[in-house]
């Protein structure tokens, strides 16, 4: 198939006319499809319904350490829940605090505590003239929303196929004491699906921060979210690597079962060094007397151990895999063959990051919306929602049914082709 870059003006005009006719036909269908957020589908949620029966009125509601889970207490989570989370992200149970249902909530709290009280005795960030955060891009919009909320200056760090550009990360972290943190999704990154290489993880661990309270915000959101059973990515344990490098306190690692069991009704946790855990618990004790231990017990009773989680996640993979593969096939046939877009084929996670021609992302989102397909807003994967090239789009394929997703994908590729042709005719 001929690349659009090789077409003459007359050929592009003919293509534009055909695509406009197709677009008008699509608009007349009155579609209402959504590829905007990375939510599990109803079919995925059905897989977790047994969780609701794992604890009932006949259950002995006592933790293995004798705690009555119906009552107050246990600030950092019951031991069996700490052990389950520790297995999920490959850390030691003593380095884990199990919270409520949301890892995003924990991240927000970590920033808020740093702002109000400082980290491990350091000056509260709110009392500093400037606080900066490094933001690998494209990245997770809700991360950037947190740091923007607190008025923290955000600095773009380009992503590579092995993780963030570590030359830039080292340059900023090792020389500027105002740089206090970096957002990371190290495994199946949001939205590209990048897996941090061993070298990248080791370079993170070997950083020599100019700020003693610099922290890596390691959001291991997709630790067990593989798409394929036989091709699963693994990453080095950042806590172990930091300890080896003499930086044991440099990481806050976050995770949850939000996309394992039920979003909004899972369990979430932070893992860190002993010093950081003690510092967190000192403040956390003012916020709560303990989180939902019945839900913690429910998750342990249902999944039991890491083998239970792995088996469950393979059932989820069987649901979402056809969606990712259909999208990849359609993008390959309709977009790659015409030279008007790029993407990575992820092995896990919840998204596909599509890179259109420069200056086209907003137009694609607008035209898709007009045709009845909602996408995540253009610019969302960047701090301040400002994509310098106006080219990156995040596609969330999990929530719609395969049939709905196929219809939405047809609209998407038609719109990408039309906007690309219009761009080339103007250049």
Task: Kindly report, residue by residue over 305-328, the tens digit of the pLDDT.
Answer: 999 999 999 999 999 999 999 999
Q: Residue 190 burial by CB count (10 A; 0-12/13-18/19+): exposed, middle or buried?
A: buried
Pairing of strands 268-271, 96-98: antiparallel
Residue 88 CB partners (closer than 8 Å, separation 6+): 223, 224, 255, 257, 306, 309
Map residue 161 onto helix, strand or coil: coil
Q: Which residue has the tokens 């609701």?
A: 52
Map residue 341 onto helix, strand or coil: strand
- How does residue 7 score in pLDDT terms, banded at 50, 70 and 90? very high
Residue 285 CB partners (closer than 8 Å, separation 6+): 75
CATH topology for 4-45+310-426? 3.90.1150
> Would you give the DSSP letter of residue 291?
-
Listed by start position, the domains of the chain span 4-45+310-426, 61-304
Reference 336, options 315, 352, 320; nearest CA is: 352
Contact 395, 361 (CB under 8 A): no
C-alpha 54/C-alpha 244 separation (Å) is 40
How many CA atoms are closer than 13 Å to the CA of 159, on its beta-carbon side?
29
The angle subtended at Cα 265 by Cα 264 and Cα 270, nearest 5°, is 85
C-alpha 340/C-alpha 416 separation (Å) is 8
- How does residue 427 score in pLDDT terms, banded at 50, 70 and 90? confident
Q: What pLDDT does 386 receive?
A: 98
C-alpha 277/C-alpha 120 separation (Å) is 10
pLDDT average, residue stretch 341-350 = 96
CATH topology for 61-304? 3.40.640
Q: Alpha carbon of 273 to those of 57, 246, 411: distances in Å?
A: 37, 12, 48
Find out whether the peptide bond into 405 is cis, omega within 30 degrees of 0: no
Q: Taking 80 as the threshold, does the pLDDT of residue 64 lie above it?
A: yes
Q: Taking 90 as the threshold, does the pLDDT of residue 232 lie above it?
A: yes
pLDDT average, residue stretch 2-16 = 96
Tokens standing for 122?
A: 């350091």
Q: pTM of the full predicted structure?
A: 0.97
Task: For the sheet with 392-395, list strands across it.
Answer: 341-343, 352-356, 392-395
C-alpha 371/C-alpha 33 separation (Å) is 9
Helices in 371-401 by DSSP H: which ranges?
none
* 243: number of Cβ within 10 Å: 16
Q: How far is CA 415 from the centre of its chain?
A: 26
Reference 82, options 297, 387, 329; nearest CA is: 297
Q: What pLDDT does 37 receive?
A: 87
Q: Taking 80 as the threshold, does the pLDDT of residue 1 lie above it?
A: no
Q: What pLDDT does 397 receive?
A: 97
Mean pLDDT of the chain: 97
Map residue 343 onto helix, strand or coil: strand
Q: What are the phi and psi torsion angles at 170 (to 5°)?
A: -60, -40
């Amino acid at each position: 198939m001929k690349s659009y870059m090789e077409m003459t003006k007359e050929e592009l005009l003919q293509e534009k006319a055909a695509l406009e006719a197709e677009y008008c036909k699509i608009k007349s269908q009155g579609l209402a499809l959504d590829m905007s957020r990375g939510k599990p589908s109803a079919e995925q949620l059905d897989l977790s319904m047994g969780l609701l029966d794992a604890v009932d009125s006949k259950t002995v509601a006592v933790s293995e350490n004798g705690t009555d889970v119906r009552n107050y207490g246990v600030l950092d989570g019951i031991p069996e829940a700490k052990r389950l989370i520790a297995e999920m992200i490959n850390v030691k149970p003593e380095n884990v605090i199990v919270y409520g249902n949301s890892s995003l909530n924990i991240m927000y709290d970590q920033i808020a505590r740093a702002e109000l009280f400082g980290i491990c005795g350091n000056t509260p960030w709110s009392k500093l003239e400037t606080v900066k955060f490094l933001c690998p891009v494209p990245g997770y919009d809700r991360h950037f929303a947190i740091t923007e909320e607190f008025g923290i200056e955000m600095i773009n760090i380009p992503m590579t196929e092995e993780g963030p550009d570590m030359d830039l990360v080292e340059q900023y972290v090792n020389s500027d004491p105002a740089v206090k943190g970096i957002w990371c999704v190290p495994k199946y990154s949001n939205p590209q699906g990048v897996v941090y290489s061993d070298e990248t993880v080791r370079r993170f661990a070997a950083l020599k921060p100019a700020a003693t309270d610099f922290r890596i915000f390691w959001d291991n959101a997709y630790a067990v979210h593989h798409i394929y059973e036989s091709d699963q990515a693994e990453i080095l344990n950042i806590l172990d690597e930091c300890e080896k490098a003499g930086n044991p306190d440099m990481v806050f690692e976050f995770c949850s079962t939000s996309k394992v069991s039920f979003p909004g009704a899972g369990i979430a946790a932070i893992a860190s060094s002993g010093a950081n855990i003690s510092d967190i618990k000192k403040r956390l004790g003012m916020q709560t007397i303990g989180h939902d231990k019945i839900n913690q017990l429910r998750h342990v009773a249902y999944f039991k151990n890491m083998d239970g989680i792995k088996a469950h996640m393979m059932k989820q993979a069987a649901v979402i895999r056809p969606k990712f593969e259909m999208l990849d096939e359609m993008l390959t046939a309709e977009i790659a063959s015409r030279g008007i877009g790029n993407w990575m084929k992820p092995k896990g996670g919840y998204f596909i990051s599509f890179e259109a021609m420069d200056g086209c992302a907003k137009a694609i989102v607008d035209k898709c919306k007009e045709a009845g397909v909602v996408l995540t807003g253009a610019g969302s994967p960047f701090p301040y929602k400002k994509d310098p090239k106006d080219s990156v789009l995040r596609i969330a394929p999990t929530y719609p049914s395969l049939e709905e997703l196929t219809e939405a994908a047809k609209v998407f590729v038609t719109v990408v082709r039309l906007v690309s042709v219009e761009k080339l005719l103007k250049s």
